[in-house]
Structure 1
């Protein structure tokens, strides 16, 4: 029997996000959007077809995802003046990025394999390969290096049996971005040793604090066929409820293996979900939806930055540059000792209804991230405006002494 460790961040969210009156600043999706609002965003307005064709028979649909959806997904990887690095045949549509990641590990790694994974990151990315019998080494990101990975340290982690390097760009929970030059070095190192690169890009393209010419390309763009990218409609696209994600890779043999394994886990995604995702990523809707989410991120990040600056005696961070999350560290004013982040999050929720995710529990356990909390700041601005004054009052009363 496979021993599955608790998925701490998901269990924390499940336990507390339904607390009556909760001010949820732990959620990692850009503020969820309704189908009605998507329709309003369509630049064709009343001339546009509806998001869902209700006359269509509800068969399993296209097993790997509809042609329209996969075609629209390719457009999200285009760079100015360059074609997409992938075609629709390079994509398998899945039930969210979480299913995409699980399917890849289930298909590609097992006993005898070695996996290197950035850390901190979403627990699935290192716990699942370990559960499947692989040896996992954590490639630790450091606050003093702005949570940007060090390729020299990666090289030191390589073994003869290293099968896969796992990166997360933009990073959850820090909001850090792997710059293009570092990304190129990672891929070239992998190419040299014939290692698969799995790049979880679920927060791409929400680059809210990166100037255009410094936005790194998707790892798919770097010309190595053994790069695999996963993403979804949840985080940057504000549509978690439709449960649509994807795997993209230019290596046909990898996709064939994944497709064969997928037959045992899911036949296809919902036709209705597929149609809504295709609509949201269409040329007529996608630019407006992304602009809405980036503007929301920029507005809210400015509010959060003012809070951190005003409470520098008890709070610090590496300011995030992309995605929807920030990794804040809280400490006591006298002595500067990091708080017990688990107790802090529970007490804060009980007293103020403000909800965070504790870093030491949900992103590694032990003392690695003691005092850290993950905040999802791309909620509706009104939620943040209500939560931050409550957090400020709590900090003054409970952390200042």
Structure 2
């Protein structure tokens, strides 16, 4: 098995802790531990936690809290993983390894290219269908998906809300995709790591509600601002499939960390979950206002379809420079890091994360515009 280089992760890992202004970050400003554990009693409980192995598929309280996000689910429908990345990896590995005659994976693009890379590494015939621009929104090409699937399609992979565009699929889109999957006998892998990070009050619909053969992956890294806990999960209506997935995670990380599991339980308790989600929406609305102002001031050199969810947006620029070259120049000349659109197969674009420190966001945006205008 040979893995393609994960170009986006490489440029972020190399520079995100070195530059002055990191606009590549795709989550919201992380919570501090004393925000998640604000009371003395709970703090003592955490300090007295024995740092042994937790239950390897996730503790029952954590899985029960995760299951509350999906109608009709119980803890037996949930496998806890080390972040959403392991959830996607285990899902792809399991689905392709367990099938002898279905070797096609159809991936929604643009996308965070992890599922694309895993599928190629495991020997799948990877196809794609695209979100397309129309009426001021990114919309799934349903007819294009119909043309891509076949009786050899193992999996249709979605990212909803979408990274890098911030677009969300609506109920009618999910129903249409579910019908296509049903017709060709495919499973659906729905990466919903940004669900709960909406700029509007309405929560993004989940594929859980529209299809039985679905693997929903998610975690606490993005919408919940807790990437350091490394808590992700797979939710599936088929309990046998969940146990099967668990046997695969025995060969990867074995278990989440004890502290990650315990703090994850706390994050998903109803009152704390409500607090975190309100905090996320507040940060996004405040920071998007600054982002929108900057876009308006620079509309002669860039355009952007506003995101509906997620602290990321995709910006098209008019300067005739490759996005990878633009990103490298911004690092060297302005100490600003952006995510090149080339890493999402979308040239002449950059992904900007707007969910972190507002003052640094505004300064980083200003420096980016200065560079595109050729100003010192």
TM-score (norm 1): 0.88
After superposition, residues 100-179 of structure 1 pair within 5 angstroms as 100-110=87-97, 112=101, 113-144=103-134, 146-179=137-170
- Asked whether 1:322 is paired with 2:322, we answer no
Q: Residues of 1 paired with 2:194 and 2:126: CA distance? A: 24
Contact 2:108 2:130 in 1 (8 A): yes
Aligned length: 372
The SS at the match of 2:139 is coil
Q: Alignment RMSD, CA only?
A: 1.8
- Provide, for residues 130-159 of structure 1, a one-character-per-residue CA deviation record: whole Å limited to 9, x for no partner: 110110101122234632212111111111
- Provide, for residues 32-62 of structure 1, a one-character-per-residue CA deviation record: whole Å limited to 9, x for no partner: 111112234xxxx56x633854434333221
The SS at the match of 2:140 is coil
Contact 1:339 1:370 in 2 (8 A): no
The alpha-carbon deviation at position 85 of structure 1 amounts to: 3.3
Which residue, 359, 362, 365 being the options, matches 1:385?
A: 362
> Relative to structure 1, is the Cα distance of residues 216 and 32 closer, same or farther in structure 2, using a 3 angstrom cutoff?
closer
- Asked whether 1:30 is paired with 2:28, we answer yes
Aligned to 1:217: 205
Contact 1:51 1:275 in 2 (8 A): no
Q: Residues of 2 paired with 1:164 and 1:109: CA distance? A: 9
The alpha-carbon deviation at position 391 of structure 1 amounts to: 2.3
Which residue, 37, 48, 67 being the options, matches 2:60?
A: 67
Aligned to 2:351: 374
Q: Residues of 2 paired with 1:73 and 1:391: CA distance? A: 39
The SS at the match of 2:88 is helix
Which residue, 315, 320, 344 being the options, matches 2:326?
A: 344
- Asked whether 1:357 is paired with 2:339, we answer yes
The SS at the match of 2:296 is helix
Aligned to 1:300: 287
After superposition, residues 5-16 of structure 1 pair within 5 angstroms as 5-16=4-15
Q: Residues of 2 paired with 1:139 and 1:11: CA distance? A: 25
Q: Residues of 2 paired with 1:120 and 1:353: CA distance? A: 27
Q: Residues of 2 paired with 1:319 and 1:218: CA distance? A: 21
The SS at the match of 2:179 is helix
Which residue, 266, 270, 286 being the options, matches 2:257?
A: 270
The alpha-carbon deviation at position 310 of structure 1 amounts to: 1.2
- Provide, for residues 245-265 of structure 1, a one-character-per-residue CA deviation record: whole Å limited to 9, x for no partner: 000000123212211112111
Q: Residues of 1 paired with 2:204 and 2:29: CA distance? A: 24
The SS at the match of 1:116 is strand
Gaps of 5+ in 2: none
After superposition, residues 223-234 of structure 1 pair within 5 angstroms as 224-234=211-221
- Provide, for residues 176-221 of structure 1, a one-character-per-residue CA deviation record: whole Å limited to 9, x for no partner: 111111011111221233210000001111111x352xx4321112
Aligned to 2:192: 201
